[in-house]
Homo-oligomer: A and B are copies of this chain.
Amino acid sequence: MTVVIDEDRLSETFTALANSTRRAILARLAEGAATVNELAEPFEMTLPAISKHIKVLQRAGLVLRGHRAQYRPCALDAAPLKEVSTWAEQYRPVWEARFDRMDDYLKHLQPAGKDRRTR
């Protein structure tokens, strides 16, 4: 399967992901659908603040909402995350080359048997 990446959509996805609360909401929704009230609870945020984050996630296609008037559960749609993974994986050869080189470098620095920790 060839994956064609929509640049605007990808920008919107990355914008939505550039916030730790929004990423935590996705992690919660990965366990199952939840209402805005249920989502707000662990974050100690106001409902309007959580609703704003959810709207950003909805626009990016990461969250779907139910349509029942009072109870509109939020659900995760992970399809855009697959695109993020596909996009990042293009660079795997670069980071693998980097860590190979770093490995060589560290071996060069460390005398054998010495327990020298790196950050």
Partner-B contacts on A (CB < 8 A) = 7-8, 10-12, 14-15, 17-20, 23, 26-27, 30, 76-79, 81-82, 84-85, 87-92, 94-95, 98
Instruction: Name the contact of A91 in the complex, choosing from B7, B78, B87, B89 (C-beta under 8 A).
Output: B78
| Copies in the assembly, this chain | 2
A8 and B20 in contact (CB under 8 A), knowing A85-B88, A91-B78, A95-B82? Answer: yes
Flag if A18 contacts B11 (CB, 8 Å): yes
Instruction: Name the contact of A95 in the complex, choosing from B11, B17, B27, B81 (C-beta under 8 A).
Output: B81
Of all chain B residues, the one with the shortest Cβ separation from A19 is B11
How far is B78's CA from A92's CA once the two chains are assembled, in angstroms?
8
**Residues from chain B with Cβ under 8 Å of A84 in the complex:** 84, 88
